[in-house]
């Protein structure tokens, strides 16, 4: 009986593993007979590495982001015919939101001959970038901090960084919400890694110029279970506005704790993009109502050219992520990845890229990334431009949103984030 139970459990485990792997197999492999249609890719593959936190303390973001990327690659390969006829071959690893894992993974992706790699999180990129920069192995991060790209080396960012998020919200707050005289008092509640440090650095550089007074800076861990103590200290500073740069789980705790302390009635709450997704509303409930946040994409279901496919694939393969902006931003990232490779295939030729070595990495950066200029990501985010050698950000703009009746509603148009050269400040780094 013991052996039978073991066999049955093992069978269920194997079935679950196979079901999870099916989308990945489709994304990584050249199109097979079933996919050989008008759009199926047929030439040699273009190798691409994904490093993403599918488990661990940031999995609420990593899972929808990872599955959004893989679904988009499936779409590119099977419906668009790959990149100039070449299928994208993905190799991906779970970082577990752990620095040691991230450093090990980037080495594997280099050894496997990938053209470049992408990460979802600024923390993962911070652990990978020294190795990648030293080798000349290009990388791109979706949710990045200034320290990932300043000074500019071989790491790029899909959209404005966390410092830009803070600047965009602060500008909006000063122009539209602050009605009193003098400087508003702002408290910063920051995750204790680059997600939070990017906002800390931006506030240090720009608070005086934007006209706000930073009265408190509190850090927390991704695994926090209570921020009552920190918020009690913040409450004693009598702030006008709280700005949070974290991930959804700890942000939901901060909002619930602030509500318990009676802080949300008279204080404006803003947040950077990492917190601001559907999962936050699911976790925080009523405590999320009325908060502001920035995000570099359009809203779910908005009438833009690329939205129909995003919604179609989410509904078909991952309905649990319908309405999740993290799924959407990673879908957009895969489209940008494909455009980078398309530019490199056209300019450098497939033979150079197929080598998967330093020559290939140089070609993908100089002929791929740098040739992306004004690329329209099917309307899903701002146009992407990597042509400026001093600016590693793809799109340069975000929108400000507010949670109203449990949904995200845009309260601003696209707000452009000016380039800040943090390395020129003596305290940076």
Element (H, E) at 416: strand 415-416
Give the chain's mean pLDDT: 91
* 26 pLDDT higher than 90: no
With cut-offs at 50, 70 and 90, classify the pLDDT of residue 40.
low
Three-class DSSP category at 27: helix
Q: How many residues does the chain have?
A: 429
Pairing of strands 155-157, 292-295: unpaired
Which tokens hold the place of 50?
């994904």
Bond from prior residue into 351 cis (ω within 30 degrees of 0): no
Cα 148–Cα 154–Cα 155 angle in degrees, nearest 5: 35
Q: Report d(CA 199, CA 218) in Å as an integer.
A: 12
Residue-wise pLDDT for 125-180, tens only, equals 999 999 999 999 999 999 999 999 999 999 999 999 999 999 999 999 999 999 99
Return the closest-CA partner of residue 425 out of 169, 160, 209, 150: 150
Identify the pLDDT of residue 429: 83
DSSP strand E in 346-421: where?
Answer: 397-404, 407-410, 415-416
DSSP 268-331: EEEE-TTT-SHHHHHHHGGGGTT-EEEESBPPTT-SSTTHHHHHHHHHHH-GGGTT-HHHHHHH
Three-class DSSP category at 152: coil
Neighbours of 425 (CB within 10 A): 13
Pairing of strands 241-245, 185-191: parallel
Q: Is 428 exposed, middle or buried (0-12, 13-18, 19+ CB in 10 A)?
A: middle
* 203 pLDDT higher than 70: yes
Domains defined for the chain, CATH in brackets: 41-160+301-395 (3.40.50.2300), 163-295+399-424 (3.40.50.2300)
Q: Is 225 exposed, middle or buried (0-12, 13-18, 19+ CB in 10 A)?
A: exposed
Residue-wise pLDDT for 397-420, tens only, equals 999 999 999 999 999 999 999 999
Element (H, E) at 142: strand 139-143
More confident residue, 363 or 40: 363
Rg value, the chain, Cα:
22
Return the closest-CA partner of residue 273 out of 237, 238, 313, 246: 246
Residue-wise pLDDT for 323-333, tens only, equals 999 999 999 99
Return the closest-CA partner of residue 330 out of 363, 295, 359: 295
* 95 pLDDT higher than 80: yes
323: left (phi over 0), alpha (psi -120 to 50) or beta: left
Q: What's the mean pLDDT in 191-208? A: 97
Q: What's the mean pLDDT in 60-69? A: 96
Spatial contact of 24 and 90, defined as CB atoms under 8 Å apart: yes
Q: Report d(CA 83, CA 351) in Å as an integer.
A: 14
């Amino acid at each position: 009986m013991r052996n039978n139970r073991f066999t049955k459990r093992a069978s269920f485990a194997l079935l679950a593993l196979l079901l999870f792997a099916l989308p990945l197999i489709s994304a990584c492999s050249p199109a097979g007979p079933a996919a050989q249609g008008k759009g199926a890719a047929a030439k040699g593959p273009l190798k691409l590495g994904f490093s993403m936190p599918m488990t661990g303390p940031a999995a609420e973001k990593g899972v929808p982001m990872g599955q959004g990327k893989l679904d988009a690659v499936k779409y590119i390969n099977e419906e668009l015919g790959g990149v100039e006829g070449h299928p994208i071959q993905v190799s991906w690893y779970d970082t577990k939101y752990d620095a040691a894992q991230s450093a090990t993974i980037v080495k594997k992706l280099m050894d496997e001959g990938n053209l470049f790699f992408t990460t979802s999180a600024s923390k993962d990129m911070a652990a990978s970038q020294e190795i990648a920069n030293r080798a000349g192995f290009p990388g791109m991060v979706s949710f990045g901090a200034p320290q990932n790209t300043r000074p500019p080396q071989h790491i790029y960012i899909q959209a404005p960084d966390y410092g830009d998020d803070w600047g965009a919200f602060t500008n909006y707050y000063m122009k539209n919400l602050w009605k009193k005289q003098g400087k508003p008092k702002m408290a910063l509640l920051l995750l204790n890694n680059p997600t939070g440090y990017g906002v800390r650095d931006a506030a240090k550089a720009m608070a005086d110029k934007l006209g706000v007074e930073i009265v408190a800076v509190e850090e927390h861990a991704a695994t926090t279970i209570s921020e009552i103590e920190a918020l009690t200290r913040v409450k004693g500073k009598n702030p006008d506005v709280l700005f949070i740069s974290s991930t959804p789980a700890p942000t939901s705790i901060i909002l619930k704790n602030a509500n318990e302390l009676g802080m949300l009635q008279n204080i404006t709450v803003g947040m950077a993009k990492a917190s601001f997704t559907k999962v936050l509303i699911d976790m925080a409930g009523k405590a999320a109502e009325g908060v502001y946040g920035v995000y570099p994409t359009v809203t779910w279901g908005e009438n833009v050219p690329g939205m129909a496919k995003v919604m179609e694939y989410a509904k078909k393969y991952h309905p649990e992520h319908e309405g999740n902006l993290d799924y959407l931003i990673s879908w957009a990232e895969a489209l940008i990845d494909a455009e980078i490779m398309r530019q490199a295939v056209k300019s450098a030729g497939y033979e150079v890229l197929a080598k998967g070595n330093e020559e290939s990495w140089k070609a993908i950066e100089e002929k791929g990334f740098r040739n992306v200029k004004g690329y329209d990501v099917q309307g899903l985010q701002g146009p992407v431009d990597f042509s400026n050698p001093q600016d590693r950000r793809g799109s340069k703009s975000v929108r400000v949103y507010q949670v109203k009746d449990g949904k995200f509603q845009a309260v601003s148009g696209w707000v452009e984030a000016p380039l800040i050269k943090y390395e020129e400040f003596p305290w940076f780094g």
